[in-house]
Structure 1
């Protein structure tokens, strides 16, 4: 489980308040998730009266703050309907959080992450089309700016139901912890999540915009079927990816099958761009 896998939860209005206030503004509440580099807490913004998510990085030494700097630099400025928004940032001071820690303030999505939704049941074709085309639009926005997300998976896709609790919801991409751009190369300790890596990444190649598309294709297939395209232990799953394309069951409609085959083409050059994927996915609703 990565840090942001469980960030998207509905606000618990009955949660007991905390005595810890970051930056004189954000009163910390319950923990929402955690990983090796950071953990996330719900917080109440005393100035705006809204509830946010605070991502607090574990490192206490400036020499180890590269993960925070990467996310602040890459994710911080992004403003797009399908990307979870970073609101602010700061560093803890005298608060009772055991040392000085950098933190990001993020919007709290009123919904669930896609991993949680798929654990309950497969998505409908309409839900899959809406969610995947939304993430493809986010990738179009990123790729045009020279950014590769590098970790597309259900746990990093949040579905926001705030605007329409009974509707399809709006898919939002989050967790840019290993994203790449011209200033930040791939972290030596991580290169994405094994079950969603592209064949070129499995073979030690560079992660590119086409790699994001492949991963999104695997997520789309999982939405429709309820199961991972390459199940099993991580190593077994990665080896299977180098031996052939994902198997698309006959229960998946032919038009969907054509789109999924294109997005998961073993050859990166054969995959559609993010903007082309948006068009292909949107045409499935016709």
Structure 2
């Protein structure tokens, strides 16, 4: 099986949950049966509520923290062997130590224990975002240039932060970006109710030397050309993926639509087509972010400045 076919087989399976937003109920994957009963208190503390999202590795439910009185999101992993739960361990090792206003915060973790006929499962407790994921927003309408600059600038700041720590997110896509509407006018980076974009789902993130040749398992429609060819997943790959997301925000359509394999082949043949309706200043930034060569792309820190200037 070729690299292209392997990546295509992974298409939109949801390597982990796509979002922990309160309004994300449409993302719940009903094809996967929930692992724990609907009315249950995890670890004697978190009373589970309704579903928020789901994927092949985990699903997310709203919960009420009986100790603090706060509403949170609980991400429950599907692996029936908690001791060998690689996605959970990766999130614990990487995501739980990140503290940035543009990254959804992990608040705690635990195990569900055995309830009735169910098996023990690992879970993470995360802040509950008052808003929607970007995938849901774009399903209704494109974002305005101002929203795009604000949201993508926020995610670029998050990427600059994690890249400095030697972390590659490895799965930048609309479903992993939440737009937090709570306190948007007061929050740093949020203006006039636009909201603050927050990055989530570090289930397939990479650590160590960002230039190490590690094959990506990200979502095919947002992979960089070098990843499609089986090359390294690097900080530059995250920037490329963010460029595709920014273009989709402005146009409402994927830069490389179609079936996963067809989409990836197109990625190796040329740059994304930027419609004439996109203003020239935007076009220049998007072309830079989606340069076919990783060395030709700006860093995430440089992208922050680019989006800041676009928002003027």
The question of 1:56 aligning with 2:68 is answered no
Structure 1: runs of 5 or more not aligned:
none
**Aligned equivalent of 2:39:** 19
1:6 Cα deviation (Å)? 4.8
Provide the C-alpha distance between the structure 1 equivalents of 2:201 and 2:257, rounded to a whole number of angstroms.
23
The question of 1:8 aligning with 2:21 is answered yes
The question of 1:177 aligning with 2:190 is answered no
**Aligned equivalent of 2:128:** 108
Where 2:97 maps in the other structure, the secondary structure is coil
Q: Tell me if the contact between 2:99 and 2:105 (Cα under 8 Å) persists in the aligned partners.
A: yes
Cα distance 1:268–1:119, how it changes in 2: closer, same or farther (>3 A)?
same
**Aligned equivalent of 2:227:** 201
Where 2:61 maps in the other structure, the secondary structure is strand
Q: Tell me if the contact between 1:21 and 1:95 (Cα under 8 Å) persists in the aligned partners.
A: no
Runs of 4+ in 1 over 6 A off after TM superposition: 183-188
> Which of residues 91, 99, 103 in structure 1 aligns to 2:119?
99
Where 1:75 maps in the other structure, the secondary structure is helix
Cα distance 1:197–1:170, how it changes in 2: closer, same or farther (>3 A)?
same
Provide the C-alpha distance between the structure 1 equivalents of 2:219 and 2:302, rounded to a whole number of angstroms.
25
Where 1:143 maps in the other structure, the secondary structure is helix
Q: Tell me if the contact between 1:178 and 1:187 (Cα under 8 Å) persists in the aligned partners.
A: no
Cα distance 1:31–1:183, how it changes in 2: closer, same or farther (>3 A)?
farther
CA-based RMSD: 2.2
> Which of residues 258, 263, 266 in structure 2 aligns to 1:240?
266
User: What per-residue deviation string (whole Å, max 9, x for no partner) do you get for residues 170-197 of structure 1?
Assistant: 0000000100002999998x61000000
User: What per-residue deviation string (whole Å, max 9, x for no partner) do you get for residues 61-90 of structure 1?
Assistant: 245311110011000010100000000001
1:122-133 aligned at under 5 Å gives the runs: 122-133=142-153
Provide the C-alpha distance between the structure 1 equivalents of 2:292 and 2:163, rounded to a whole number of angstroms.
20
1:19 Cα deviation (Å)? 3.4
Q: Tell me if the contact between 2:39 and 2:49 (Cα under 8 Å) persists in the aligned partners.
A: no
User: What per-residue deviation string (whole Å, max 9, x for no partner) do you get for residues 88-142 of structure 1?
Assistant: 0011224457111110000110000000000110000000000000000000000
Q: How many residues align?
A: 281
1:11 Cα deviation (Å)? 9.4
User: What per-residue deviation string (whole Å, max 9, x for no partner) do you get for residues 198-243 of structure 1?
Assistant: 0000000010000000000000000000000000000000000000
Provide the C-alpha distance between the structure 1 equivalents of 2:69 and 2:83, rounded to a whole number of angstroms.
35
Where 1:56 maps in the other structure, the secondary structure is strand
**TM-score if structure 2 supplies the norm length?**
0.85
Q: Tell me if the contact between 1:112 and 1:160 (Cα under 8 Å) persists in the aligned partners.
A: yes
Q: Tell me if the contact between 1:53 and 1:106 (Cα under 8 Å) persists in the aligned partners.
A: yes
**TM-score if structure 1 supplies the norm length?**
0.93
Cα distance 1:21–1:63, how it changes in 2: closer, same or farther (>3 A)?
closer
**Aligned equivalent of 1:274:** 300
Where 2:96 maps in the other structure, the secondary structure is coil
Structure 2: runs of 5 or more not aligned:
1-11, 26-36, 186-191
Q: Tell me if the contact between 1:38 and 1:55 (Cα under 8 Å) persists in the aligned partners.
A: yes
User: What per-residue deviation string (whole Å, max 9, x for no partner) do you get for residues 5-31 of structure 1?
Assistant: 25312499xxxx953101111001112
Provide the C-alpha distance between the structure 1 equivalents of 2:115 and 2:285, rounded to a whole number of angstroms.
51
1:59 Cα deviation (Å)? 1.3
**Aligned equivalent of 2:29:** none
The question of 1:76 aligning with 2:89 is answered no
Where 2:59 maps in the other structure, the secondary structure is strand
1:285 Cα deviation (Å)? 2.2
